């Protein structure tokens, strides 16, 4: 499939998703760093678990964008080698995302309803 306009559009979206994924992860890392500094200087009431949960959520969300970019890249070059590579990358990132999400859920505080 060698339609120049289609190929260009797919490449633009692939790059866009990669940039957005990286930006989300970087934003999460910077935010976690700022929160740690504020926590350590006693200027913000937050726990390490809340900071970790927020960072983990950003990492998982960023990985979703990377997977979307990988899928679009494979649309342009659907060789068997590329399909196997994409499959491996998607499996690894999905497993990583699953365990990070699971950890994130375990870090969230349990909210119990008050007396009614």
User: What's the chain's length in residues?
Assistant: 116
CA–CA dist 54, 36 (Å, integer): 12
Residue 86 neighbours by CB under 8 Å, 6+ apart: 70, 71, 73, 74
Mean pLDDT of the chain: 82
pLDDT of residue 112: 45
- What six digits make up the tokens of 60? 């998982």
Residue 61 CA: distances (Å) to CA of 33, 84, 110? 18, 23, 22
- Residue 109 DSSP label: P
The domain spans of the chain are: 4-107
| Sign of the torsion angle spanned by Cα atoms 54, 58, 61, 63 | negative
Question: Does pTM surpass 0.75?
Answer: no
Query: What are 56-98's pLDDT values in tens digits?
Result: 889 888 988 988 888 888 877 777 887 787 788 878 878 887 8
Q: 37-41, 56-60, 104-108: lowest mean pLDDT where?
A: 104-108
């Amino acid at each position: 499939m060698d339609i120049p306009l289609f190929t260009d559009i797919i490449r633009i979206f692939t790059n866009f998703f990669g940039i957005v994924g990286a930006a989300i992860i970087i934003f999460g890392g910077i935010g976690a760093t700022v929160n740690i500094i504020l926590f350590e200087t006693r200027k913000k009431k937050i726990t390490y678990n809340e900071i970790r949960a927020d960072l983990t959520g950003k990492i998982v969300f960023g990985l979703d964008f990377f997977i979307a970019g990988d899928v679009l890249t494979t649309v342009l070059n659907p060789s068997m080698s590329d399909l196997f590579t994409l499959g491996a990358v998607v499996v690894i990132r999905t497993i990583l995302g699953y365990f990070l999400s699971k950890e994130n859920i375990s870090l969230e505080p349990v909210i119990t309803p008050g007396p009614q």
